[in-house]
Amino acid sequence: MKKSIYIFFCFFLLQIINAQENNKVFERHFTKEKKILFRIVPENKKMFELIKSNGLKITRYTLTNNTQTNETVINDFLHPYWETDSAKWLPLFRKDKNKTGFIYNAIFQNKGDTKLSPQQKEKHEKMVYDLMLLSCDFNAEVASACGLFFADSTIASNSNYVYKIAVYTTTTSTMAKEIYSVTLNSSILSTNKKITGLDARSKNKISTLKWKAIDYKSDYSGYNIERSEDSVTYKRINSTPIILLSSQFEKNKEYIFFNDTMPQSNKKYFYRLRGINFFGEESEPSNIINVYSSPPVNSVPFIDSVFVVQNRRVNIKWRMENNFETPLLKNYLLLRADKDNGIYKTIYESKENLKYTDLEPRQSNFYKVAAITHNNDTIYSYSRMATIIDTIPPSPPNNLKATVDKKGIVTLQWQKNNETDLQGYKLFKANALNEEFVQINNKFITDTIYTDKLNLKTLTKKIYYSLAASDNNFNTSITCSSIEVKRPDTIPPAAPLLNSLYPELKGVKLNFILSKSDDVIKHIISRKTGNENFTVLKELTIKDSIGIYMDTTAESGKTYSYQVTAFDEDNNSSVSKCLVIKYQTGYRKKLNNLAYKVDRTQKNISLTWEYNEKEIEKFILYRAKANEQLTIIKTVNGKTLSYTDNNLNIGNIYEYRIKAVLYNGDESIISDAVKVEY
C-alpha cells in the first residue's frame, strides 16, 4: 500500500517537471568545497534508453579569459549499472528491496501488459519512467544506479569550469555527440534554502502540519518530517518523502498539509521539517513548532443554572455536557449579550471556578459559555436568558444648553445618556424658578436636540428649562439643573429727549434726558452737517442724570443737526427728536500758527501765518515791547499771510499777536503772544 501511494504521488510531480524542460537532457548541480554534484535528467524515456545503451561522456575544461583549456574526462562512460552487475545491485536491494526492485524493473524488465492498447502501454511506460526519475531525486545511490548521477572531486578552488555532456553515437562507437554544456564557478558554493513558516494545528490527538511548499519548488523535491518529545531528540515519522501534489482541481496549489497521530494524550510534541534536494541530501531543520496532544472532547459546554437574586444580580454555573470531560478543557469564558443574536462579550474567564455572579446585569441578559481546548479550538454552549425587572432610573441628563433667536425659537441641546434601555427625555418649562415646572412634550424626545417657540407678547423677560430621562420601564430620573433663557426683546426702549442746543464760546452745549427704560445699556450722541450721515460724538455707557454734553469740535458759522439714540440689551434702539443749530458766537477760532524769522542783516522780523476760515476780510497785527501795551502795527488784506516788520530797535523783546476779521463782522479770538528777541 505504501509503495502504491508513493508511486501515485510521484507521478504527478514528474509530469510538472517534464512539462517545463525542452532540452534533450538537462542537469542540476550542487557545488561544495572541492566537489560538484551533478544530476542528469533526460527529457523522455527515449533519451534515457539512448543513454542506457550508448552511454554518456562527461568532459571538463578550465575556462580562462574565455578560453577552454585542460581537457579532462570526468566520466568516459556514464550509464546505468549493468543488468548482471550483482556487486552493485545487491547492496541496494538489501537497503530497500521494494524501491530497488521497482528501479531495476523500470530499467530492464518493463515489458508492459500485453492486454493494454498501444496508447495505454505508452502511458504506463511514461508513468514508470517519471517515477524512476523522482526516485533519483530522493536518493543519490538510486540516481547512480540509473546512470544519472556523477560527482567531480578533482576541482580546484576559485576556478571557472565548462562541463560538456556528450552521448556516444552507437554502442561500439568511440565518437560522442555533445548535447549539453554548463559553465560553473567553483568558488560559488551552493546552499539549501532555509525552510521557514512551518505551522500546525491540532484537534484531539491529530496534529495537522502546514507549510508553503511552492516557495521551495526549485530547491527541494520532497520533505521529511521529524517529531520529538523533548525538543532535543527528533525522529522521522514519514516512511516516504512528502511532496507537493497538484491535480486538475488544484492547479495553483501552494501548501502541503500532513496529518500525524500523536502517540499520547496530554502531552506536548515538537515538529520540524527537512527538505530533500535533487541530490538526495537533506537540508538543515526548519523552524520548530510545538503541538499539545489533547484528549478527545465530544460534548459541549452546558449552563447548569441561571438564578436571579433580589432582582440585582445573576448567579450562573456551568460544566461540560459530559461531566467527565469538564477538566479536559484549557479554559472557560462566560459571555453576555443584550440579545440572543447580539454581540457577546466576555465578562469572566476561569479554568477551574465554573460559576460566576454577575453584579451588573442588564435588563435583558443572554449568557453563553465558550470552552477553549488546549489547541485553541472554541466550543460554545447554547444561550440562557436572565431578566432583571428594572427599578433604577437613568442618570439625569448633562450639559443642557439653549440658544434663542429674535423670533423666539429656542434650540435646546444636551449630552446623550449612556443607558442602553433609555426610552427618551421629558422637557419641562417654567416662567420663574419659584414656580412649578410643566412638561411641554407629550411624547418622549428620542434625540438630544429640541426646539420650542416662545411667546414674545409678555412682560416676563426670562424662561427656565429643565430635563429628565426615562427608561423602557418608565423609570424617570430627577431633573437636571435648570437653565435660564432670556426672551428676545423686540420692543425698543423709551426714546431719550434732546431738550435744547445752546452756542457757547467753547462749543455747542446739549441738554438732554436719557431713556427711562430699565434694559438700556448705552446712549449715543451723534451729529451731522448738511446732507452728511450722522457720526458718533460720544457713547454714554453709564446713565447721566445731568444730561449735559459740550461739543467742543463745532466750528463757528456751520449748521449742525444733533440727536441722541438709546440702545437696549437686544440692540433695539430709539432716537430722540433731531435739533438743528447754526453755531454763531460772534467769534471765530483762534489763529494758532503765527511764526517768525529774525534777519539782523536786513534789520527786520518776518511773520507768517495760516488760517483756514473762509470769507476773511483782513488780518490785524499787534505789537508791544516789554511791559508796554499792544498797539496795532498793521492791517493786511484777508488773502495776505505774511508781514515784514522793519521798524525795529536792537536790544528789544517784541511781542506779536494777530486776529482775523470776517466780512460779516465776526472776529477771531486774538492769537497767543509770540515773543521775539531782536
**Over 60: is that where the pLDDT of 14 sits?**
no
pLDDT value at position 72?
A: 94
Residue 492 counted as domain residue: no
**Over 50: is that where the pLDDT of 322 sits?**
yes
Task: Indicate whether 280 and 142 sit together in one domain.
Answer: no
Run of H or E including 426: strand 422-430
The per-residue pLDDT for range 389-438, each reduced to its tens digit, is 878 899 999 999 999 888 889 999 999 999 888 999 999 999 999 999 99
**Over 70: is that where the pLDDT of 459 sits?**
no
pLDDT value at position 255?
A: 94
User: Taking residues 493-514, what's their average pLDDT?
Assistant: 88
Beta bridge partners of 511: 500, 548
Task: Indicate whether 138 and 71 sit together in one domain.
Answer: yes
Query: Considering Cα of 155, then 157, then 161, then 163, what sign does the dihedral take?
Result: positive
**Over 80: is that where the pLDDT of 242 sits?**
yes
pLDDT value at position 586?
A: 66
Residue 14 counted as domain residue: yes
Average pLDDT, the chain: 88
The per-residue pLDDT for range 636-655, each reduced to its tens digit, is 998 999 999 898 888 888 89
Confidence label for 314 from pLDDT (cuts 50, 70 and 90): very high
Task: Indicate whether 27 and 160 sit together in one domain.
Answer: yes
Confidence label for 7 from pLDDT (cuts 50, 70 and 90): very low
The per-residue pLDDT for range 249-258, each reduced to its tens digit, is 777 899 999 9
Contact criterion met (CB below 8 Å) for 675 and 654: yes
Task: Indicate whether 506 and 475 sit together in one domain.
Answer: no
Q: Where are the beta strands (DSSP E) in 514-668?
A: 520-528, 535-540, 548-551, 559-568, 573-575, 579-582, 587-588, 595-599, 604-608, 616-625, 631-637, 642-645, 653-662, 667-668
Confidence label for 41 from pLDDT (cuts 50, 70 and 90): very high
The per-residue pLDDT for range 123-174, each reduced to its tens digit, is 888 888 889 999 999 999 999 999 999 999 999 989 999 999 999 988 777 7
Residue 393 counted as domain residue: no
Residue 68 counted as domain residue: yes
Region of residue 638 (left: phi > 0; alpha: psi -120 to 50; beta: else): alpha
Pairing status of strand 67-78 against strand 149-152: unpaired
pLDDT value at position 111?
A: 63
Of 34 and 22, more confident: 34
Last residue of a domain, one of 387, 418, 441: 387
Task: Indicate whether 535 and 473 sit together in one domain.
Answer: no
Distances in whole angstroms, Cα of residue 322 to Cα of each of 148, 319, 328, 352: 61, 8, 11, 16
The angle that helices 97-104 and 86-95 make with each other, rounded to 10 degrees, is 140
The tally of domains found in the chain comes to: 6
Does the pTM surpass 0.85? The reply is: no
Task: Indicate whether 269 and 221 sit together in one domain.
Answer: yes
**Over 70: is that where the pLDDT of 489 sits?**
yes
Share of the chain above pLDDT 70, in %: 95
Residue 536 counted as domain residue: yes
Return the biggest CA–CA distance within the chain. Answer: 164
**Over 90: is that where the pLDDT of 467 sits?**
yes
* Distance, CA of 302 to CA of 321 (rounded, Å): 5
Task: Indicate whether 250 and 102 sit together in one domain.
Answer: no
Confidence label for 9 from pLDDT (cuts 50, 70 and 90): very low
pLDDT value at position 4?
A: 37
User: Taking residues 3-23, what's their average pLDDT?
Assistant: 38
Residue 192 counted as domain residue: no
pLDDT value at position 198?
A: 95
The per-residue pLDDT for range 508-533, each reduced to its tens digit, is 999 998 988 888 889 999 999 988 99
In this structure, the chain runs to a length of 678
- And the C-alpha cell for 548? 449735559
**Over 70: is that where the pLDDT of 8 sits?**
no
Residue 491 counted as domain residue: no
- And the C-alpha cell for 359? 453584579
Last residue of a domain, one of 564, 582, 600: 582
Contact criterion met (CB below 8 Å) for 179 and 25: yes
B/e letters for 228-266, b = 16+ CB within 10 Å, e = fewer, are beeeeebeeeeebbbbbbbeeeeeeeeebebebebeeee
Confidence label for 613 from pLDDT (cuts 50, 70 and 90): confident
Top-confidence range, 148-152, 552-556, 662-666: 148-152
pLDDT value at position 110?
A: 62
Confidence label for 458 from pLDDT (cuts 50, 70 and 90): confident
Task: Indicate whether 79 and 51 sit together in one domain.
Answer: yes
pLDDT value at position 185?
A: 94
Confidence label for 248 from pLDDT (cuts 50, 70 and 90): confident
User: Taking residues 211-237, what's their average pLDDT?
Assistant: 94
Residue 373 counted as domain residue: yes
pLDDT value at position 286?
A: 95
The per-residue pLDDT for range 380-396, each reduced to its tens digit, is 999 999 998 878 899 99
Task: Indicate whether 49 and 159 sit together in one domain.
Answer: yes
Run of H or E including 136: helix 118-138
Task: Indicate whether 560 and 593 sit together in one domain.
Answer: no
pLDDT value at position 377?
A: 86
**Over 90: is that where the pLDDT of 56 sits?**
yes
pLDDT value at position 15?
A: 39
**Over 70: is that where the pLDDT of 455 sits?**
yes
Pairing status of strand 587-588 against strand 667-668: parallel
Last residue of a domain, one of 326, 357, 387: 387
The per-residue pLDDT for range 186-200, each reduced to its tens digit, is 999 999 999 999 999
Contact criterion met (CB below 8 Å) for 362 and 388: yes
Beta bridge partners of 509: 502, 550
**Over 70: is that where the pLDDT of 544 sits?**
no
CATH code of residue 122: 2.60.40.10
**Over 70: is that where the pLDDT of 665 sits?**
yes
**Over 80: is that where the pLDDT of 336 sits?**
yes
Q: Which domain holds residue 617?
A: 588-677
Task: Indicate whether 364 and 438 sit together in one domain.
Answer: no
DSSP string of 69-122, one letter each residue: EEEEEEEEEE-PPPTT-HHHHHHHHHH-HHHHHHHHIIIII----TTS-HHHHH
Task: Indicate whether 53 and 148 sit together in one domain.
Answer: yes
